[in-house]
Every structure is written in structure tokens, then in C-alpha cells.
Amino acid sequence: MNDQPKSRYVVGIDLGTTNCAVAYIDTAGLDENESPPSDQPVKPTVLSIDQVVAPGQVEARPLLPSFLYQAAPQEFPQGSLDLPWSAGRTYAVGEFARTHGVQVPMRLLSSAKSWLSYAGVDRTAPILPFGAPETGDEAVPKLSPVDASARYLMHLRDAWDQHLAADDEALQLTHQDVLLTVPASFDAVARELTVRAAQAAGLSRVTLLEEPQAAFYAWLGDHPGAWRQRLRVGDVVLVCDVGGGTTDFSLIAVSERAGDLQLERIAVGDHILLGGDNMDLALGVSVLRKLEQQGHKLDPWQRRALVFSCRQAKESLMIHADLQAAPVVVLGRGSKVIGGSIKTELSRTDAEELLLDGFFPRIAASERPRAPRRLGLQEIGLPFAHDPAITKHLAKFLGDHRMPTAVFFNGGVMKGGPLRQRIEEVLGSFAGDGLRPLTGTDMDLAVALGAAYYGLTRRGKGQRIRGGTARAYYIGVEASMPAVPGMEPPLRALCVAPRGMEEGTEADVPGQELGLIVGEPVMFPFLSSSTRKGDAVLSIISGIPTRRPIAATSAIGNTRNFGLGNV
């Protein structure tokens, strides 16, 4: 990207588990030699995204729900799913996919981003919608997590070109500098697969940015001068990002250099597959029990539809503070609606009680997530966190690093006021009084807005957060030792990128000789650590906790995270 001329636009894309969003800054009017005045923020523009909202009806909306519905043959009249740039469509992405898919969940593809991060499956194979029939009258075409992500990005690209590049090919999204966000906890493989999806969508000038950082950039962009008054040297900001599929924690420290405040990302949490999807499932189970007590029996696909309907009810309760209950509806099955639709409701009291006590319980700072008790045989599926208590995962993260003095919330789940208040209460019990919440961003759009703002900082305009790579990365090296019966040679780790390594960094490489096996199949374990800091390039680390083989599920392989810092 550095070898290419600067594009007119810098574009931030939030490729979210639940929603996608696009924000951009037109740099044509910015002086190349001067930064914007510190008290006049540069406001990114949010792209209105055309999408089908009902059969034959297209509207432009700021969010594109991350759902893809593949219609059955003759399900809709011809042209019902067409978009301004595409005719003859048999699938829908966005709002209609989400709402209609509740009724026919076996044809609805969702949570592609969560599957993209799961090393236990081949993420390049057509596996989604997971569990949908592949043969017979109800067979559903399937996509890989990579291809599904590419479909969402293609939709965003086409919407961009329709609105901003209809008369000028040079302004097409493929020619713009794109900042594409990923969870901070994504490993190297998931990041590479995200780039592959972007390339499949025709986006060639892509830079990845961690979502918690992007959201914090949005706050900085909204407070270009005031943030220096709200933060002081020694502050540590916890970015608590709970989205649809993942929970991400990051710590950003405030320091001083040459009399000016500096920001540095000092810690990133491990990958926690825990978020709104888990909460929807919990609400679905709670409502299912009530329906079963009333004599209703739901088949597996109706249960999935129930979870989607509970998601809609939860979102309604979060958006409308005065709403005391939201409807939950599950359609009957078959060519006729046997017995009619099953209708009930989700009350605000029940929802908040389940979510607060189940996912945000009051705990002591010493508590930790319970360790999973694994069985030898497991069903294939997403590896959700074994312990749903987000506050316990937070206690572990802060115990491994530092206690914050301020907290910044992001993610769709954190739109719920009672949930934010509970986390503030728990953090207060950890660190004592004085914790300051940083507010003032749109949690639906902050990641896209902040990514666009970061694109501007890459051009020397605005406050940049230092930090480099969130993890240290290593290649596994087999130790040289005499053969010992019943013992394999231990695995050591060769550091190829230290934690905190900044973009464009040059490093002196010491002399180091290694042997390379040729002429037979071999494995190159790729390892990472989120806690170890200070290893030099090509230094060799001993004491790897396990020699467990790493199975390659794609041409890229897998990354295993290991806690050398805790050994």
C-alpha cells in the first residue's frame, strides 16, 4: 500500500458478527501539509447501504446485518431480491435476510465471523448454514466462512460504487485505502483469511485494524482536543468490547513524551467466543421451557427460529428503554401452519435478570472462569467459552495485566444500560472508587468511524495509538537431543515477531543456524503468546507447555496460543 499513490478516500469497514458498517473521509479538502485544528474534529461520513428490506423493496440504511438468506426455488416472485446493481438474485444479504430468516432458519447463514475464527473446521470449505440439509427437497447451497465474509464485503463494495463511483471508476472502493477491522483476539490465520475474503471481494488496498482500537479511535476523533483533559499520565483505559460473537478486552496506557500525552495499547485478551449469540441462546432456552410447560413441542429448526426471534426481542428491549416486553413468535412447520404460529413474549425483567445474573454476575477480583471438563467425543460446532460469566473472564484478564482507571465500552451488547452499569459496579469492587467511564460514541458505528479516523492518522493527521502486534509470534523448532525411549524431542519456539513490533520496524537479526528437513512431509507449528514480552527476533524460547501436534485445516494452517509468560 505504501508504494501506491494515496487514494482520495480513507474507508473504515466494520465486518461485524451481527452488523456491517462503512464510514469514510474524503481527503480531497485536507491540506497535505497540515493537521486539522485540534478543536475541529474531522467527521467521517457513514455510508447508507442499499439492501432488500422486503420482497421487491430496497432501502438504504447505515447498518448491513451480517445475515445471508438463500431462497428456495420459486419462494419469491422473480426480481424480489434484486438490487440496483444486480438482477436475478436468489439470495439476500442484510435486513430482509435477518427478518425472514427467523421463519426459515435452515436457509439462513449467520455468525460467519465466529466460524472464520474457529480452527477446528476447514474454514475454506462450504459448511454454512451449519447443519442445514445437503440433499433432498430441502437441500440448501452452502458457503465457506471465507466466502460468506466475501459476500458481505462484495455487497458493501457494490453499494459504495453505486453511490460514490457511478461516474468515476477511479473512486471505486477497490482503489481506496480500506481499513478493515477484526477482533483483537483473532489469531494470524483468522486475520489472513479475513484478508483473503477482502481480496475475493475485489478489495486490494486493505489494512487490518483491531476493533477495540478502532472504537477508541472513534472516541479520540470525537474529542480531538478534549481527550487530553479527560485522560492524564498514568491512566490505563480498559476497552470492553462485547459484540455478537466475541468478547474482547484491551488496555491502553497514557504516558508522556516530550511534554505531550501518548497512547499505547499494552495488553490484549485471549480469544473468547462469547457474546450476543450466547445470550440469544440463553434467552431462547428460557422461553422454550415456558412454552414446553404450556404444552408446545418445537422441532430442532423451530428451536433455532425461537433463538432468532429472542434476538429480535432482546434488541427491541435494548433500543426502547420504555418497552416492558417484546413479542416472540415461532411459525408452524410444513406446507400448512399446523396449529398456527406459537406466540409468547419476553419481558424486560426476565431478560435483564437472566443476562445480568448469567453473563455479568457480581464476583470477587480473585474469581476465574471455570475450567472446561472435556469429554473424549464432542459434537462439531463453535467452541463457545465454557464459562458464560463475562465478568470472570474480565477478572482473569485484569489479573494477568493491570487494573484500569477508566473504561470505554463498545459492541452491540454494551448498548444495554444495565449491563454497562453492572460491569462498572464489578470494576469498582476490583479497583476501588475513581473508575471513570468514557462516553460519547455510537456503539453501532464506532468501529467503522474509528477505522476511518485511523486511516487519517496513517497519513500523519490525528493522534495515533502505539502498540504494534498484539502478540508475539514464533515458529516451533525441534530441540536437538539424544533419543530417549518414550520421549519425543521437546519443542522450542523461535521468535519471528516480538509482541509490540510496530509496522515498518527493522530489526537486527543475529546469526542463527537451523537444520531443515527435506524430502518428507513435515510440520511447521506456528505459535503465539499474548503475555510474553521482550523476546528478540530469532531468540529461541524453551519451556513450551505441550508438544500437542497442530493439525492444518487449510493451506495457511493454525496458530496455537501458549502462555509462556505464565510458565
Cell triple for residue 59? 432501502
DSSP assigned state of 424: H
Nearest partner of 173 among 146, 209, 204, judged by Cα: 204
pTM for this entry: 0.83
Residue 284 has what pLDDT? 93
Residue 60 φ then ψ, to 5°? -100, 125
Residue 556 has what pLDDT? 38
Residue 449 has what pLDDT? 97
- Count the helix, strand and coil residues of the chain and give each as a percent rounded to the nearest 5: 30, 25, 50
Q: Which residues pair with 59 in a beta bridge?
A: 51
Q: Are strands 108-109 and 325-330 parallel, antiparallel or unpaired?
A: unpaired
Residue 260 has what pLDDT? 78
Residue 523 has what pLDDT? 72
Q: What stretch of H or E contains 229?
A: helix 227-230
DSSP assigned state of 414: G
DSSP assigned state of 526: E
Residue 40 has what pLDDT? 61
Q: Walk along the chain (567 residues) and give the pLDDT tens digit of each residue.
A: 456 788 999 999 999 999 999 999 999 877 555 555 555 668 899 999 999 999 999 999 999 999 999 999 989 999 999 999 999 999 999 999 999 988 888 899 999 999 998 888 899 999 999 888 887 777 899 999 999 999 999 999 999 999 999 889 999 999 999 999 999 888 888 999 999 999 999 999 999 999 999 999 999 998 887 888 899 999 999 999 999 888 999 999 999 887 778 999 999 888 888 999 899 999 999 999 999 998 888 888 888 889 888 988 998 888 788 899 999 988 776 544 445 688 899 999 999 899 999 999 999 999 999 876 655 544 556 778 889 999 999 999 999 999 999 999 999 899 888 899 999 999 999 987 789 999 888 999 999 999 999 999 998 888 888 876 767 888 888 776 665 565 667 788 888 888 777 765 676 766 667 777 777 777 777 787 767 777 888 788 876 654 443 333 333 344 444 433 322
According to DSSP H, which parts of 294-329 are helical? 300-319
Residue 241 has what pLDDT? 94
Of how many residues is the chain composed?
567
Residue 432 has what pLDDT? 78
What angle, rounded to 10 degrees, do the helices at 188-200 and 145-164 form?
Answer: 50
What angle, rounded to 10 degrees, do the helices at 348-359 and 300-319 form?
Answer: 100
Residue 342 φ then ψ, to 5°? -95, 120
